[in-house]
Amino acid sequence: MNLLSNKASFILAALLFMTSACKANISRNGDGSLTVETTISQQELQEAITAAIADPLIQELNASLQSGYVLVTSTRQRLNDAAKTDSLSLRLDLGVSNGQLTSTISAAQIDGVAIEQNRVDLWNQTIANRLSLIGNKNQNSTLESISITPDQVTMTWKVVR
């Protein structure tokens, strides 16, 4: 019964990865674990960043995939004058620490003025959480690597029993 339960868990994990919004490639390792490679498109990433920032004044957010990082630009409507906008820009680096996705925003500015660190810290945590939910559909998995190319974000997960 235990062997049947383990196989059912792996099948369920594979189905969860395959039915998620992102694409997944699944392979079995010699130790019985699975390696799951998920890809997130530029559009999915842009939507996750927009939702994580959650600022109704931000308009036209663009997440541009670069080699190794994401360049985020947008306009932000002024709170006291809806007819005027400011330019928002930031660099987003994604990484792995202890099997978890990390998000590191740097050079976050509105019209050349640095955005307060407590806001950037909140964005970092929220972006990492949202992207982990997109790419990881199994609680028994750890993130092994992440790469960013001009076409997509690729996360490689190890899923154990």
Give the helix/strand (H/E) hosting 78. none
Residue-level pLDDT at 143: 93
Q: How far apart are CA 149 and CA 158, in angstroms?
A: 21
Among 32, 31, 70, 33, residue whose Cα is nearest residue 49 = 70
pLDDT along the chain (161 residues), means of 10: 48 43 79 90 92 90 96 93 93 96 96 95 94 77 94 92 75
Q: Do 161 and 32 meet the contact criterion of CB atoms below 8 Å apart? A: yes
Residue-level pLDDT at 9: 46
Residue-level pLDDT at 141: 87
Residue-level pLDDT at 125: 95
Among 127, 121, 49, residue whose Cα is nearest residue 95 = 127
Residue-level pLDDT at 121: 96
Among 123, 144, 114, 142, residue whose Cα is nearest residue 49 = 123
Q: Do 88 and 50 meet the contact criterion of CB atoms below 8 Å apart? A: no
Q: How many residues does the chain have?
A: 161
- Give the number of other CB atoms < 10 A from CB of residue 99: 11
Residue-level pLDDT at 22: 57
Residue-level pLDDT at 79: 87
Residue-level pLDDT at 133: 84
Phi, psi of 35 (to 5 degrees): -105, 125
Residue-level pLDDT at 46: 93
